[in-house]
Structure 1
Amino acid sequence: MTDNKPIVSVITPSFNCENSISSTIESVINQSFTDWEMIIVDDCSTDGSVGVIENYIEKDSRIRLIKRLWNAGPAIARNVAIENAQGRYIAFLDSDDQWFENKLEKQISFMQDNNIELSYTAYNKYDFRGNHLGVYKPKLKVNYSDMLKSNRIGCLTAIYDSEKLGKVYMPNISKRQDLGLWLRILKMVPFAYGMDDILANYLAVQPNSVSSNKITAAKYQWRLYREVEKLPFKLSAKNFLSYAYLGYKKSK
């Protein structure tokens, strides 16, 4: 640690994740890179999530819990965690995903060795029943224009350097807030850089969730272009067509 502050702050929103949060926390505790803090912001869970988290806090002082008084959604929860983060590197991990034990060690070295502000990695995809759906292999270099066409950065793999960028927050929108954050950063730096290494496991949403509804997802994508990025109509339409085409290719 430097000045008693951790090098990495792990940002985890929590909402009714009693059945999955243990695996998420364990994957952080088991990291070969140990100089981290994990900030979990619970967004008014109504199940036993808080109790599970508090049991881990009793065993490991690097884990911190912030309890929100009203439910505001994952963007606000993540931003509260970012605001309270003390680490130089801001890393994201949702409460139903897991990291490989060498994730932080490899990725932080990659960023430091190559002077990178925003990085990401490949990851495994699983459905909600635990069936393996394959591996997402990202492009190894993306810019703002690339990201308008398709979100190529898995939130569970992303890390940004707050010493270089300052603290950058997610837009307060219901969906696509992670893409909104990457776009904000890519207005500040020319590129984000990825690793071929598979360093995380992503649990896909259940079929009846909002994120799995392609029509609903498309509406949020359009709103991101017009309301958050404030792109002109023609440029929004051009990127939306690319988004729809690339999404169709992914599903094949």
Structure 2
Amino acid sequence: MPKVSIITPSYDCSNYISDTIDSVLFQTCTDWEMIIVDDCSSDNSVSVIKSYMEKDSRVKLIQLEENLGAAVTRNKAIEVAQGRYIAFLDSDDLWEPEKLETQLSFMQKSDIAFSFSAYHKIDEEGIDIGTVSVPENVSYHQLLKCCVIGCLTAMYDTHKIGKVYMPLIRKRQDFGLWLRILKKCGIAYGIAQPLAKYRVRKDSISSNKLNAALYNWKLYREVENLTLLQALYYFSHYAINGVLRTLR
């Protein structure tokens, strides 16, 4: 059994998927499987992925017959994952070579169930445009105020909390998953060292700030079932933190 299962949803990312897979192949930790779920791509993403599968059996592919969104695709990968640890990497993002080794060592030494790290931001050409730092730790109620966990850095231990799946919403499903995990383990622990590179794309779902805010509200009310007053309280923190981030 692989130690880590890497969950990668893919949709029309033929321009980036090679770099993403390469960043996994270059890991100093080699005990992993990469489960790529293609969400009915219209480009040649599948052909690119299959070319890697022919070279390395640790790269695996699930093809969906219709477009179902990131939550469903990630959940399908989690369902078949065989690794003790579940990690996430989208098909246009990258990992630093020591990402898995560093994070596994951090979690095992301190007996941690859920961790995340700082990361770099890059543009569509791969040029560095900044670094996102993280706190030493975060609780459920703290995370409700501001999601400080980047999906490309998150990892959890299924031996400690079992498999945890994403809520079936179109956006902010990763935020919903972190909240579900924190209900089980209490605290997520941050690694100050940047271990990944998040690609900022103009056409990405997360680039639409208004839609992201609306789905944040939907998450509070319909997934977390917060009261109106609770939702308003946490949403005000979310909005303020968003403004502060744009001013940095």
TM-score range, shorter chain: over 0.9
Q: Secondary structure at the match of 1:80?
A: helix
Q: Find 1:84's aligned residue among 80, 87, 91.
A: 80
Distance in 1 between residues matched to 2:195 and 2:209, nearest whole Å: 27
Q: Would you say 1:176 and 2:172 are equivalent positions?
A: yes
Distance in 2 between residues matched to 1:221 and 1:35, nearest whole Å: 35
Letter in 1 for 2:26: N
Letter in 2 for 1:172: L
Q: Secondary structure at the match of 2:35?
A: strand
Aligned residue number for residue 21 of structure 2: 25
Aligned residue number for residue 99 of structure 1: 95
Distance in 1 between residues matched to 2:216 and 2:80, nearest whole Å: 29
Letter in 2 for 1:244: A
> Structure 2 unaligned runs (5+)?
none
Q: Would you say 1:189 and 2:185 are equivalent positions?
A: yes
Aligned residue number for residue 116 of structure 1: 112
Q: Find 2:244's aligned residue among 219, 225, 249.
A: 249
Q: Secondary structure at the match of 2:195?
A: strand
4+ long deviations beyond 4 Å: none
Alignment of 1:65-84 (within 5 A): 65-84=61-80
How far off is 1:140 after superposition? 1.2
Alignment of 1:117-196 (within 5 A): 117-196=113-192
Is the alpha carbon distance of 1:209 and 1:35 closer, same or farther for their aligned partners in structure 2, counting shifts above 3 Å? closer
Q: Find 1:229's aligned residue among 224, 227, 234.
A: 224
Question: Cα deviations across residues 17-55 of structure 1 (Å, max 9, x unaligned)?
Answer: 001000000000110000000000000001000000000
Aligned residue number for residue 33 of structure 2: 37
Distance in 2 between residues matched to 1:162 and 1:212, nearest whole Å: 31
Distance in 2 between residues matched to 1:204 and 1:149, nearest whole Å: 23
Q: What CA RMSD, in Å, does the superposition of the two structures yield over aligned residues?
A: 0.9
Distance in 1 between residues matched to 2:55 and 2:155, nearest whole Å: 26
**Would you say how many aligned residue pairs link Structure 1 and Structure 2?**
247
Identity of aligned residues (%): 55
Q: Secondary structure at the match of 2:82?
A: coil
Distance in 2 between residues matched to 1:146 and 1:82, nearest whole Å: 26
State TM-score, norm by structure 2. Answer: 0.98
Q: Find 1:46's aligned residue among 11, 27, 42.
A: 42
Q: Would you say 1:216 and 2:211 are equivalent positions?
A: yes
Letter in 2 for 1:187: K
How far off is 1:155 after superposition? 0.3
Q: Secondary structure at the match of 1:188?
A: helix
Distance in 1 between residues matched to 2:72 and 2:24, nearest whole Å: 22
How far off is 1:211 after superposition? 2.2
How far off is 1:209 after superposition? 4.2
Q: Secondary structure at the match of 2:192?
A: strand
